[in-house]
Amino acid sequence: MTKTAISPTRSENYPEWYQQVIKAADLAESSVVRGCMVIKPWGYAIWENIQKTLDGMIKATGHKNFYCPLFVPLSFLEKEAEHVEGFAKECAVVTHHRLEADDNGKLQPAGKLEEPLIIRPTSEAIIGDLYSRWIQSYRDLPMLYNQWANVVRWEMRTRLFLRTSEFLWQEGHTAHATEQEAREETLKMLHTYVTLVQDYLAMPVAYGEKTKSERFPGAVNTYTIEAMMQDKKALQGGTSHYLGQNFAKAFNIKFLNAQGSEEYVHTTSWGVTTRLIGSLVMMHSDDDGLILPPKVAPTHIVILPLIRSEQDRTKIMEYCEGLLHALKATKYNELPIQVEIDASDLRPGEKAWSWVKKGAPLRLEIGMQEVTKETVFLGRRDRAYNEKVALNKNEFIANVASMLQEMQQNIFNRAKKFQQDNTVEIKSVDELYKFFDPKDENSGGFALAPWIDEPESEARMKQDLKVTARVIPAELNGKTGKCIFTGKEGAPYTIFAKAY
């Protein structure tokens, strides 16, 4: 039996495997505060790379960053009925503004607020109030703003990165003069997310519109990107919402058009979260730990000096330093390659395994043999741990950028093939039940079937199979068929899956 770094393996216990990969890669840990997490430096560096990439894309589409308060007055949240209903069970509420010691010296809440404050689960409500004051004329439109922030949703069952009571995200909020312009904005940002996850995170996704019951509370239309994890479950990676005039009417966001008439604006909102890190772990990693696409890896190359005697130390370290400087002078993805030397005193095997588990794309083991022959002993994280090769140093430096790009593509192709192999077109209810057989732990994937969006069959799927409608895939260009439940024609093809 092959020994692996992570125990249990994916096939033995997938949920626990996920937790152990996070621990072994030193990405995050649970906080003493229920349901919250501490994102550790390696995990936060991955988030910073995602953030930096997406922030550039957002700004390139004409949006500007701003920041809004963490606290939302309860009365603001109540203005849009569907919105408050959707988030009511997840809200954390502040009712007092100070602490005072009682007769026993124990601190107690004091100074009750006149109006409770909600710790933002999302910011549509408070931004609606701002926009009602900032927007007066068509000349103020479009208003294209984005914020990077934290939010709180009081989750009952939490899991690191995938579902925590507090998480990090970006949320875009825009206001437009016309429905057409707002709808174009909604789809533009959806495609921005598709580019981010596919080109940078190497995550193939199905994208398109959500069904009615899966819409964001208060939205007219919700669009999503859905990824398939290695246990064949779906994970929602990001959403973009056309809010119509619902929030504009709730918060009285009006403008004078060019003809001098007053109209309500059309608004959108869109966001992705630190859940993307969880999806990276689940989609790409193996039983030896994390696998990172090079475009989001904090370190592309780690140099591991193998010093077996003190007399060799100086020569090996000088060789490693020279290699470090030469590699830093090269570029990948139009940015300097990130390289570091691990000079810790761990045993060579233990040191190499630590970087395998962290997902560093390339490992260079350097001993006296490499110094003498002017070579590098290379391990690639997209291949087996024991699959290592000796390469000429200068040849490696000249080709390292193309090697990283090859790895990026390999990781994407592997995930894409898994998605395709586990996506099946379903033609009947019987086929659907067989595909999601509750007695078979390995059953499932993406089931593509024509379906009339109606509550009775949806409730049946949820109850019997724990399956939901994930997305009406845009790549099918509106393809319809005969609904597998009702037999009605004109049913959009929809992807069904178990989901996180």
Is residue 61, in this structure, part of any structural domain at all? yes
- CA dihedral for 178, 250, 453, 443, sign (positive or negative): positive
Q: What is the mean pLDDT of the chain?
A: 96
Q: Is residue 34 part of a domain?
A: yes
Structural domain range at position 124: 14-77+119-284
- Domain co-membership, 317 together with 342: yes
Average pLDDT over every residue of 308-326: 96
Q: Is the pLDDT of residue 441 over 70?
A: yes
Q: Is the pLDDT of residue 315 over 70?
A: yes
Burial class (CB in 10 A: 0-12, 13-18, 19+), 442: exposed
Give the pLDDT of residue 348.
87
Q: What value does the mean pLDDT take over residues 137-142?
A: 98
Ramachandran sector of residue 398 (left: φ over 0; alpha: ψ -120 to 50; beta: rest): alpha
Residue 131 falls within a domain, yes or no? yes
Q: Of 284, 313, 339, which residue is a domain's last?
A: 284
Please check whether residues 204 and 63 belong to one and the same domain.
yes
- Residue that terminates a domain, selected from 349, 368, 403: 403
CB 254 within 8 A of CB 242: no
Query: Is residue 307 located within the same domain as residue 271?
Result: no
The pairing of strands 254-256 and 301-305 is: unpaired
Structural domain includes residue 89: no
- Establish if 9 belongs to a structural domain: no
- Of the candidates 221, 255, 284, which is a domain's last residue? 284
Tell whether the model's pLDDT for residue 440 goes beyond 70. Answer: yes
Within-domain flag for 96: no
Query: Is the predicted pLDDT of residue 78 greater than 90, yes or no?
Result: no
| Angstrom distance (rounded) from CA 447 to CA 141 | 42
Residues 277 and 308 in one domain: no
The 10s digit of each residue's pLDDT in 221-270 is 999 999 999 999 999 999 999 999 999 999 999 999 999 999 999 999 99
For residues 178 and 315, membership in a common domain is answered with no
Answer yes or no: is 91 within a domain: no
What's this model's pTM, rounded to 2 decimal places? 0.96
Neighbouring C-beta atoms of residue 67, cutoff 10 Å: 10
Q: What are phi and psi of 292, to 5 degrees?
A: -110, 130
**Quick one: pLDDT band at residue 88, thresholds 50, 70, 90?**
confident
Q: How many domains does the chain have?
A: 3
- For tokens 């002078």, what's the residue? 329
* Same domain flag for 165 and 58: yes
pLDDT in tens, 103-136: 999 999 999 999 999 999 999 999 999 999 999 9
CA Rg value for the chain? 26
**Does 445 lie in the same domain as 347?**
no
Q: Are residues 70 and 195 in the same domain?
A: yes
pLDDT tens digits, residue range 189-225?
Answer: 999 999 999 999 999 999 999 999 999 999 999 999 9
In 3D, which of 274, 298, 250, 92 has the Cα closest to residue 168? 274
Same domain flag for 123 and 223: yes
Backbone angles phi, psi at 481, to 5 degrees: -160, -165
Do 40 and 48 contact (CB within 8 A), yes or no? no
